[in-house]
Every structure is written in C-alpha cells, then in structure tokens.
Amino acid sequence: MARSFILALGADHGGVALKSRLAAALVEAGHEVQDYGTDSPASVDYPDFAHAVCTAVEEKRADFGILVCGTGIGMSIAANRRQGIRCGLAHDATTARLTRAHNDANVLALGARIIGEEVALDIIHIFLSTQFEGGRHERRLAKLNQATETTP
Ligand code: RB5
C-alpha cells in the first residue's frame, strides 16, 4: 500500500459536499482524516476553516492540510497568510505535482466549482506521492517569509 498520512480537511459551504466525498475516499485509502468542518451547506466564512486546518499542520498534528471552497482561491489566500504554511491551489496533475516538487506545499487548496471528485482524488494522490526536490527551491522558500525586498 502507498504511504498513509494524517490529513486535516476543511471546507466552506461551497466545498463541503466534495470534502465529505474526499474524506470517505481518503479513509478508504488508508489515511487518517481529521475533519475541521464545515459540516452543512449553511453559509460560513472560509478563513475560519482555513485557519483551523493550518493550525493543525503548523502544530504538526497533521502531515498535510486539504482545503476546499468554491474556487480554492479564498482558502489558498487565507492559508498563505500563515507563516508556517505553503498552500498550493491545484486544478490538475501538473499543478499538484509541481506545488509539492517546487513549493514544498504543506496545504492543498481545491475548487469544488472548478473540478470534480475524480480529478480532486487524482490531484490528492499526486500531491501526497510527490517529494520536494530541494536544491534551488530551498533558497526560494527561504525568501518567502522575508518582509522586505531581497537581492535577486
Ligand atoms: C463562497 O460563495 C465562495 O466565495 C467561496 O467558496 C470561495 O470560492 C472563495 O474563494
């Protein structure tokens, strides 16, 4: 069996239905899933759920976070405000692979209005099975949290 992970999942009302289906599939695949809500289609604010998942990742209670909203954009913006988070918004296999290989993403954002369940599961599978390449990308990651301009 492929390696299994502890995954923190979160969604707003735009992503809750897809999150539920993904959670079931991920448990079926042998992963441990922590579900940080939301749990219903009632309207909520995506940053609340992004921050709950990011805290779990930053505190190492989860290996990776997976955030789902309508587009994935709001979730990724919220997650990338966090110092310890690199959130990649992925719509396909290539963005899923490269956000791990180049950005060492520890949170994945998905758009439930943009992709379907099968594509989402392919993205998650690729995201979880791709290693960070290190090398020149280490230097770039080190500059991400610098508040001032750095020399190119
Ligand atoms: C909610 O209507 C929607 O704005 C949200 O799910 C997300 O797409 C935001 O980026």
- Tens digits of residue pLDDT in 29-52: 999 999 999 999 999 999 999 999
- Looking at the chain, the number of H-run helices and the number of E-run strands are 6, 5
CA–CA distances in Å: residue 132 to residues 17, 97, 100, 151 = 30, 9, 5, 24
In percent, how much of the chain has pLDDT > 70?
98
In the chain, what are the domain boundaries?
Answer: 6-150
Dump pLDDT digits (tens) for 134-152: 999 999 999 998 877 767 7
Q: Which fold has domain 6-150?
A: Ribose 5-phosphate Isomerase B; Chain: A, (3.40.1400)
Q: What is the 71 CA–ligand 1 centroid distance (Å)?
A: 6
Name the residue with the closest Cα to ligand 1, atom 5. Answer: 70
